[in-house]
Structure 1
Amino acid sequence: MSHLHRFYVPPETCLESDLALPQPEAHHALHVARVRVSETIVLFDGQGRECLGHVARVARREVIVTVDEVRMHAAQSKRVTLVQAWLNREKSVESLIRRCTELGVTEFRFFRSAHSERAPVLNEKWPRIAIEACKQCGRFWLPRFGTADDFAEALRDVPSVCLIAVKADDAAPLCEVLADAPDAVAIAVGPEGDFSEDELQVGRDCGARAISLGDATYRSETAAASMATLVLYELGELGPRGPCVT
């Protein structure tokens, strides 16, 4: 089958047999994808539902789709929560969300670190960025977003396996920490300037394990994407994993 264009529709409309694409998606369909009547396309609702349908009608600002088949996809078996210190540049936050959504991060928790200039505020652009990332990579579930006033609050109710990206000589090999293949893992990444000593102690008090990315100094969003990649690989979400070598 040739490439099929993918479009997002809200869950409450995905059950209809004939539906109109939301305005941002209709604009993309008309002016970027340039869909035509009778063309087969794919719809997804971010909650696991995928619809195979065809374009029934197009107008200047409207695309009507007839749903021909509905499929359900289970949520990702291994959940990864990114506990991310707030970054000072909104573009960096957006880049982080885009990359980590494509990789398979299932939840983002932004918190104000001791080295953050301001507190995080939920942004209506974030879900849209996640939608575009899911359209790009073919995922069917959108991540969740939340904010916290500090690191301690951000770590409440996180999975029992929590990893902190640090430069530490005593950092444990990742494959050993994840040897039991837990169903849920939290990754904590600091801001520009890294975690404060008090925040590192908060992490230790919560049972977090130190994981090193080597001697290089990374941008925070690079560290987050690197940690997500390594963890998801070890959990088997990025293909078969190899043996643990320590």
Structure 2
Amino acid sequence: MKTPEIDLPEGVHMRFGSDPEQVALDLADAVAAFLKERLADAQRVSLVVSGGSTPLPFFRALSTKDLDWHRVDLLLADERWVPEDDPASNTRLVRENLLQDRAAGANFLSLKQPGATPLEGLEAVKAELSGLALPLDVLILGMGNDGHTASLFPDAPELPRAMSPDCPDLVAAATPPSQPQQRITLTWPTLRDARFTALHLKGADKLETLRRAMTAPEDVMSMPVRGFLKPGLNVFWSP
């Protein structure tokens, strides 16, 4: 495969692959190696993942890794405010594809808590995450073609607070009009300082979106993914 041409900011590492399964395996290897190194120094480590179909082979590969999973706090970067048995639930995807095999012993912190809306459940989510140590250790993000990542959507009325460098909250409700479900999301200050951050992408459309994001990196409100295009980011992409 010819390597796609893309002008990345200095310090952003791009890992191209011709096969989505192989890229998922490479990402799982990188994450497992980083977590293993952190577990040698820390009592507990955190792993934040994203939902959707792209990370499923990554989830399955990572679940087989030989780690002390009982010392891993696992959570999603965001979640749709739907019951866990709903087809749109990312919590369901994580339970069925990542919390399996050796990873079954990880400590899963659920962003979906009781409440009719994410705003009603916000305090319960904060309580669920109260023991989470910052900075996060590993963060795996996806990206939409509108430039959103996690549930930091350009049209969400909550975005200015959730993207503020001074936002004191770990999580925020998100109610973007463009989306059929309300959301709960980790805020940008919670996510931005993770020790290892990867953007896991698949498809030519995502590569084009990434190129568009590079054109005005300071305009984070129109494409929130721009808030993560900084030195140390690892982009894993396949067609």
Pick the TM interval, shorter chain: 0.3 to 0.5
Q: Which has the higher helix share?
A: 2
Q: Which has the higher contact order (CA 8 A, sep 6+)?
A: 2
TM-score (norm 1): 0.31
- Could you say which structure has the larger radius of gyration? 1
Q: Which has the higher strand share?
A: 1
